[in-house]
Amino acid sequence: MVARRLWIALQQVIRSVLIILFPLAFITLFAWATAGSTYGTTSDPMRAAVWLWLGAHLAPFNITSNEITGYLSFLPIGAAVLPWLSMRVGYRRVNAVIGNKKVSRSYFILAYLIVYLTLALIASNSQASVDFFRALVILFILLIFATADIRLENTIKLPVQIFLIALGIAGLFLTLSLLLNFSIIKNLTVVLSPGILGGFLLLLLQILYLPNILFMSLSYILGSGFALGYATQISPLVFNLREIPAIPILAALPSNRNVWLVIPTLIITAYAWLNLLLINKISLDKKSKQQLIIRFFVISILGIMLISFVTSGSLISSNMSPVGVSPVRIAALVAVHLVVVFSLMQLLPKLFKKKVQQG
């Protein structure tokens, strides 16, 4: 029984893997054939395809070569959508055969881990290897979300909705900045001269990195800011920037401090007030409400830390590390807002009541 269930899960996992790996192998083989390499074998593009597949799972790499040595962990969140979808479809097929959600989930996750570790070990060599600790943590998060039933409670739905609205506001600021700096984008594209295929791949790469950039934009307007290399900090109050990669979308970066952009940090205040107000309106006893408030605090702080951890990282060289949002800084900012709003909501009614009694 155990062997049969594992075999069913393994079959679906292999299908989920190959549906992404085959197109990647075609792309890498095509690039290898047209590049005119004077050395190497066909195993090189196949290994590169596996690296791309691992990268789509946000697996960080330790890179060591004669030219460069570094750590690559700033990976495109948009690329994780395809593995997530293939995981979800594969899990549903396993569940349709086995008929038990918990058992299907366990066997699917186990089978996926086996295939993932096998490919990671095969692809690793002296020049590039996977950081297994961080890679497995991120993979486990992807598998949990891919195999979970997405049914949000009202106390969870509202925070998610407000977060998405905040991302949309950050996207508007990003779009406006891109429009104002369109000439710089054009000049960067001309300087790069990527060609037709290269231009398509450059555009695709920027689209895949768009979730990372959106979250960095959100962190910027909230006041936490982000880093773009060693000893850098970009926020409305602090502007310390060194060299940047010649990537067109980075033309949206501010050129100086923008103190007035601290105003959108009130989004966190509104987020805290609306959610705490919703919790207070729920007909529950005092102890249950306290538990909901604690859960709200924990989910808000740990959730923003997790998102910033996944969307940030290092871009190989020491000069481009770290890149992204600091998990500690943005979590501290959110925690301060939550505590202040909660304290005011507790104290202000008491103060007004006291003044009314005195009057």
Query: Cβ contacts of residue 43 below 8 Å, gap of 6+?
Result: none
How would residue 217 be classed by pLDDT, with cut points 50, 70 and 90? very high
- Residue 7 CA to its chain's centroid (Å): 32
How would residue 5 be classed by pLDDT, with cut points 50, 70 and 90? confident
Residue with tokens 């100086």: 256
Report d(CA 92, CA 150) in Å as an integer. Answer: 13
Is pLDDT above 60 for 39? no
Q: What's the pLDDT score for residue 357?
A: 66
Is pLDDT above 90 for 191? no
Is pLDDT above 80 for 291? yes
Please answer whether residues 202 and 192 qualify as being in contact, where contact means their C-beta atoms are separated by less than 8 angstroms: yes
Report d(CA 90, CA 11) in Å as an integer. Answer: 9
Q: What's the pLDDT score for residue 202?
A: 85
How would residue 251 be classed by pLDDT, with cut points 50, 70 and 90? confident
Mean pLDDT of 93-112: 91
Map out the domains of the chain as residue ranges: 2-146, 154-356
Say if residue 258 is exposed, middle or buried (CB neighbours under 10 Å; 0-12, 13-18, 19+). middle
Report d(CA 118, CA 330) in Å as an integer. Answer: 36
Is pLDDT above 70 for 356? no
Is pLDDT above 70 for 35? no
